[in-house]
A = this chain, B = another copy of it.
């Protein structure tokens, strides 16, 4: 595709990199190398400075989500930013939290880069569900419990098809719900309406893998009330159907190194 691009400057390159859940040690080696070789790093708001500091010191860092000191950049503006730097010859790292392929709006950015004739590739990252389940010592799948796991987003929950609620309401189902804090009451209502056991375990993990990680262990019945009381402010992942295993042990070891 780069052959379709004829400019005087050498054509750049875009690498869509998953930054993982937050702990810099959960970057892949490939992601670290991409950051070290970048001319420009265009990053999501939630990517920490600890991770950005691993970039090539000469790289420009551009925050693509300016919440806090201005309106969030539109997806179109982000696309334009990525393309402009790559057309200018830069090695661009587009750094996204977690895994870029999971609720990362990756396709829209690849479309823009492809349309501009810029070569690109994707470096996968650790998605929040993997880091969160590791922190509570559970598996996403388990023989005899669930042979399938679902990743859902709490955004646009009202558009979620009704028979999926029936399936999710079954005993033993496991789902990782991204961005599910605001939709907790809606999710609870639909699941109970479709026959879910009110005692179904639900675990909410905030800031997975980070020093301020918090784990809220509750049930479907108590989810909205307990979430309200906990007043979580960071990014959180909600697990339907999983309780922490020996929470005190998992938590105390979740950020330990082997030696």
Q: Which residues of B contact A34 (CB under 8 A)?
A: 257-258
- A124: which of B38, B131, B142 is its contact (CB, 8 Å)? B131
Report the minimal beta-carbon distance from A6 to chain B, rounded to whole angstroms: 17
**In the assembled complex, how far is the CB of residue A74 from the closest CB belonging to chain B, in whole angstroms?**
14
Known: A125-B126, A130-B101. A259 touches B37 (CB 8 A): yes
Indicate how many identical chains form the complex: 2
Is A182 at the interface (CB under 8 A from chain B)? no
Which among B104, B106, B134, B143 is the interface contact of A101 at CB below 8 angstroms? B134
Taking a contact as CB atoms under 8 Å apart, the answer to whether A258 and B150 are in contact is no
How many residues in A have their beta carbons less than 8 Å from beta carbons of B?
A: 80
The answer to whether A147 and B159 touch across the interface, beta carbons within 8 angstroms, is: yes
Contacts of A33 in B (CB 8 A): 25, 257-258
Q: Are B253 and A120 in contact (CB under 8 A)?
A: yes
Residue A63 CB within 8 A of the other chain: no
Q: Is the CB of A141 within 8 A of B151?
A: yes
Nearest chain B residue, comparing its CB with the CB of A147: B153
- Interface: A225 (CB within 8 A): no
Q: Verify B107–A138 contact, CB threshold 8 A.
A: yes
**9 closest A-B pairs (Cβ-Cβ)?**
A121-B253, A122-B134, A124-B130, A25-B30, A37-B259, A37-B258, A148-B152, A124-B134, A101-B139
| 19 A/B residue pairs, CB under 8 Å, sorted by A | A25-B28, A28-B29, A28-B126, A33-B258, A34-B258, A38-B258, A101-B130, A101-B140, A102-B149, A110-B245, A114-B246, A120-B137, A121-B256, A122-B250, A124-B133, A140-B151, A147-B152, A148-B153, A149-B150
Q: Knowing that A20-B28, A102-B139, A103-B141 are A-B contacts, what are 14 other residue pairs whose CB atoms are under 8 Å apart, sorted by A's residue number?
A: A1-B246, A25-B30, A26-B28, A26-B29, A27-B28, A33-B257, A93-B258, A101-B134, A114-B246, A121-B134, A147-B152, A147-B160, A148-B164, A163-B163
Residue numbers of A with Cβ under 8 A of B are 1, 13, 15, 18, 20, 23-30, 32-34, 37-38, 91, 93, 99-108, 110, 114, 119-127, 130-131, 133-135, 137-143, 147-153, 155-156, 159-161, 163-164, 166-167, 170, 245-246, 249-250, 253-254, 256-259
